[in-house]
Amino acid sequence: MSAGDEQARALARIEAFRDRVPRFDDAVVTLAHGAGGKATAALVEDVFVSRLGRGPEGDPLADAAVLDPSGDERLAFTTDAFVVTPRRFPGGSVGHLAVHGTVNDLAMVGARPEALSLAVVLEEGFAVAELRDLVDDIAAAADVAGVRVVTGDTKVVGRGAVDGVCLVTAGIGRIPAGRDLAARHVRPGDRLLVSGTLGDHGMAVMLARGELALEADISSDTAPLAPLVEELLRAAPGLRWLRDATRGGVATVVNELADAAGVAVVLDEVALPVRPAVAGACDLLGIDPLYVANEGKLLAVVPADEAEAALHTARTHPLGADAALIGEVRESPAGVVALATSFGSTRIVDVLVGDPLPRIC
């Protein structure tokens, strides 16, 4: 047997192992379970999905559920909890995130956001002035997103029971008749569009923590994406699938796409839009911008013949000025995301394991 065959056999064995349902046998929750990678998937599948069942579309409790009460119009329903340190960072605050995160989950299933709920868990001793500022941010963000906060709840817990404040929002939106965005519509040959630069939010927050002794002019991209989605759907009516590239970044979301659609995705390194300041900070820290969180960027899969129209439309929209076509869907190997490097080689882009931790040297 040649070395190549042996390698192929070893790789097939490893792929078979990776296709198994992730095993979860941890006794305590670690930060890795919250980072959006494989550990998160294992926790959600084993603890929640196994007990609460799957979403209406058979998805394992998707970011937004699509409900089909009656008639042509469907409803989308989602919820999210928000804790971030620091609560205020260049470009926004946890208040903005609490609105944008939820309305964006709705927009990604093609829904027009209608109403939000807001639950606030406050730590004893939290400054009312800061609370007012956060609520101002929530009101302003909701205003821009064209959505109203229509119900809410407040709880105060003892010192140490929560780190300052935890915001929980739920949102509901309407999906116009005939609109159906899902991974199952994705076909080989389709193109992948990103609406702008990668990693701005994650890097802005990481630097705002002030632990890295690094300063750079980087702002969070937090923004509501529904208006851009409407424009894209007009320009590319065949649009197949949408996702916002939040926790775990573009790499994680594209891996989820490849898995769900049973396709391969080849990303083009040269086409990936990254601001120089973000690229520089990532390089110093040994972090790949493909894995860094965004709060105002979407990924869209469009048919090849609508790709240029989608790109043009995105670039003329204020939220998509740096949009780019960054990849292409292939038939096989199913579930694999690869990156074609600027040097002409190809390598795997895997799901992140745990938190992105800076390397030692």
Partner 1 sequence: MTFLDDHRDPTAARAVLDAIAGLAPDTPVRLMEVCGGHTHTIYRHGLEQLLPATVGLVHGPGCPVCVLPLGRVDDAIALAEREGVVLACFGDLLRVPGSRGSLLDARARGADVRVVYSPLDALDLAVARPERQVVFFAVGFETTAPSTARTVLRARDEGVANFSVFCNHVTIAPPLRALLDTPDHQLDGFIGPGHVSTVVGTTVYDFVALEHGLPLVVAGFEPLDVLTAVAMLLAQLREGRCEVENEYERVVRREGNPVALALLDEVFRTRPAFEWRGLGTLPDSGLALRPELAAFDAEERFGVPGATVADPRVCQCGQVLRGVIEPWECKVFGTACTPETPIGTCMVSSEGACAAYHEYGRLHRDVAVELGRDRA
Distance CA(248)–CA(280), nearest Å, equals: 19
Nearer to partner 1, 182 or 266 (CB): 266
Q: How far is the CB of 145 from partner 1 (least distance, A)?
A: 34
Tell me the chain's radius of gyration from C-alpha atoms.
20
To partner 1, the closest distance from the beta carbon of 241 in angstroms equals: 18
Binding site for partner 1 (CB under 8 A): 4, 6-8, 10-11, 13-15, 17-18, 28-30, 32, 38-39, 42, 191, 211-213, 264, 266, 268, 270, 276, 279-280, 283, 286, 304, 328, 330, 333, 336, 338, 340-350, 353-355, 357-361
Distance CA 320, CA 313 (A): 8
Cα–Cα distance measured from residue 42 to residue 327, given in angstroms and rounded to the nearest whole number: 28
Choose between 154 and 341: whose C-beta lies nearer to partner 1: 341
The least CB distance from residue 197 to partner 1, in Å, is 14
The residues, ordered by sequence, that sit 6+ positions from 323 with a Cβ below 8 Å of its Cβ are 193, 194, 195, 196, 273, 311, 314, 315
**Residue 224 CB, nearest approach to partner 1 (Å):** 31
**DSSP secondary structure string for all residues of 54-70:** --TTS-SS-SEEEE--S
- The DSSP call for residue 33 is G
Nearer to partner 1, 316 or 342 (CB): 342
Nearer to partner 1, 231 or 355 (CB): 355
Q: With respect to partner 1, which residue has the nearer C-beta, 118 or 329? A: 329
**Identity of the residue, 24 or 126, whose beta carbon is nearer to partner 1 in the bound complex:** 24
CB within 8 A of 344, min separation 6: which ones?
Answer: none
Question: Looking at beta carbons only, is 29 or 177 nearer to partner 1?
Answer: 29
Buried b (16+ CB within 10 A) or exposed e, 51-86: eeeebeeebeebbbbbeeeeeeebbbbbbbebbbee
Longest dimension (CA), the chain: 72
DSSP string computed for 217-244: ---------HHHHHHHHHH-TT--EEEE
CB of 120 to partner 1, least distance (A): 28
Place of tokens 């709920």: 117
